[in-house]
Amino acid sequence: WILALAPAARFEDFEPSDTRVQYFWEALNNFTNEDRSRFLRFVTGRSRLPARIYIYPDKLGYETTDALPESSTCSSTLFLPHYASAKVCEEKLRYAAYNCVAIDTDMSPWEE
């Protein structure tokens, strides 16, 4: 799954050494299949791998453990906060994926 998503993920406005990129991949690597489907739905509105997703730094610009990631499903864009660790990144991405269920362009019901 990670190998399929990696070529479709575009990191915009990140320095090559930015730890957010590393933390993002570590977090997704620990996701279950259900977590991954919900993450994709959170970012793209679809539960299947998209053609492309875009990841931008969030607007805060400083390290946080409180902020949740934001997404724009119209453009398949994730705004990723600067978390202190991969574990915090994983927890926040998972929380957002399971608790934001307003968009579903697959038109398929989810068991809540």
Domains in the chain (CATH in brackets) are: 2-99 (3.30.2410.10)
Per residue in 69-91, pLDDT (tens digit) is 999 988 999 999 999 999 999 99
- Residue 97 tokens, joined: 């994926």
pTM of the model: 0.84
Kindly state the DSSP code that residue 18 receives in the 8-state scheme. -
Concerning whether 89 is annotated as a catalytic residue, the answer is no
Pick the residue with more confidence: 45 or 29?
29
Mean pLDDT, range 47-51, rounded to an integer: 77
Q: Name the phi and psi angles at 102, rounded to 5.
A: -75, -25
Residue 51, pLDDT > 80, answer no
Mean pLDDT, range 10-32, rounded to an integer: 93
Mean pLDDT, rounded, of the chain: 86
pLDDT reported for residue 100 = 82
Longest dimension (CA), the chain: 39
Instruction: Tally Cβ neighbours within 10 Å of residue 97.
Output: 22
Contact between 82 and 60 under an 8 Å Cβ cutoff? The reply is: yes
Alpha-carbon span 90 to 10, nearest angstrom: 19
Q: 6, 74, 84, 101: which is the annotated catalytic residue? A: 74
